[in-house]
Structure 1
Amino acid sequence: MSSLPSASYIQEEDLSGLPPPRQVKFQIGLVPGAAPVARSPYRLALAEMQELSTQLQELSDRGFIRPRSSAWGAPVLFVKKKDCFFRMCINYRELNKLTVKNRYPLPRINDLFDQLQGSRVYSKIDLRSGYHQLRVHEEDIPKTAFRTRYGHYEFQVMPFGLTNASVVFMDLINQMCKPYLDGFVIEFLDDILIYSKSRIEHEGHLKLILKLLKEEG
């Protein structure tokens, strides 16, 4: 049994502009009687403020966010990663409480392991950055709003932190990879696992999936 290094197929710096329309569009359905919720911005350290300004500019330049007034507004915080990079996170907890949960069925882990029997070579493709390749339904864009010292912004693409984001993304990837599921592909949330019986076979499987992802944009 052997494995190849996992990789991130989509690099953030390669993404620019709104993604093309897809068969799946991210929607935020609310429970009956839900009203907009806005929270004051969190206090941030000087280094975090500088990072916030930088990341807001990057997201704006790519067309992922736009400045806009909204009755909604979530606060921003930062999480420091092992590489000392600050990841900007938006606390959508209040919005998530009001969101109708998507009951998309997640596969059973035991069933996934059963599919791997007889395989010897594995690769994992990290698609986390692909979240920003899915548009938010126009009517739901105001619900993604977040508040900062530098202004009020909202996402035009699917952000991290929303309650249904992972299963909607999983649904999209499952539709894309449907011909190969249970054959040599397992998709779980934002990862694709490719499994093969030999390295030669694995090269063919990898080329096929990478070509598919590239064609889908």
Structure 2
Amino acid sequence: MQTGSHPPIRCSPFQVRGKTAQDLEREVRDMLALGVIQPSASPWASPMVLVPEKDGSVRFCVDYRKLNAITVSDAYPMPRPDELLDKLGGARYLTTMGLTKGY
């Protein structure tokens, strides 16, 4: 991610109370235990938010709006999926390989 010479953005966390604070603490504990996140001493900071799902669960998100506003766009955008599929249309075999851990 390229931010040019922009100084680090450090946003204060959103204030949360009650059940939302408990949900947030639980999510952070769970992700630490799974190794999905780790403690950081970075000068960059964006606030966390919990987004309620239709099924009653919560989705952990990070508000990157201020970071996105200063990020330099990539000169080589990802190809369109329909164009990629057109290129694969004549292939005899198509395989995929998952390179992520099963969290």
TM over 0.5: yes
**What is the percent sequence identity of the aligned residues?**
26
Q: How does 1:31-42 map to 2 (within 5 A)?
A: 31=4, 33-42=5-14
Q: How does 1:70-149 map to 2 (within 5 A)?
A: 70-102=42-74, 103-107=76-80, 111=83, 115=86
The unaligned stretches of length 5 or more in structure 2 are none
The unaligned stretches of length 5 or more in structure 1 are 1-27, 116-180, 186-204
Alpha-carbon distance, 1:66 to partner: 1.4
Q: Give the match's secondary structure for 1:87.
A: strand
Q: How does 1:160-179 map to 2 (within 5 A)?
A: none
Partner of 1:58 in structure 2? 30
In 2: Cα distance, 1:69 partner to 1:108 partner: 37
Amino acid in the other structure paired with 1:96 = N
Say which structure is richer in helix.
1
Q: Which runs of 4+ in 1 moved over 3 A?
A: none
Partner of 1:30 in structure 2? 3
Task: Indicate the RMSD between aligned Cα atoms, in angstroms.
Answer: 2.8
In 2: Cα distance, 1:96 partner to 1:53 partner: 26
For residues 157-209 of structure 1, give each alpha carbon's deviation from its aligned partner in whole angstroms, at most 9, with x where no partner exists. xxxxxxxxxxxxxxxxxxxxxxxx62389xxxxxxxxxxxxxxxxxxx7xx64
In 2: Cα distance, 1:89 partner to 1:74 partner: 10
Normalising by the residue count of structure 1, what TM-score does the alignment of the two structures yield?
0.39
Alpha-carbon distance, 1:69 to partner: 2.2
Q: Give the match's secondary structure for 1:47.
A: helix
In 2: Cα distance, 1:108 partner to 1:72 partner: 33
> CA separation of 1:184/1:85 partners in 2, compared to 1, >3 Å: closer, same or farther?
farther
In 2: Cα distance, 1:105 partner to 1:62 partner: 30
Normalising by the residue count of structure 2, what TM-score does the alignment of the two structures yield?
0.74
> CA separation of 1:107/1:50 partners in 2, compared to 1, >3 Å: closer, same or farther?
same
In 2: Cα distance, 1:108 partner to 1:70 partner: 35
1:183 correspondence with 2:67: no
Q: Paired residues, what number?
A: 98
In 2: Cα distance, 1:42 partner to 1:70 partner: 18
Alpha-carbon distance, 1:75 to partner: 0.8
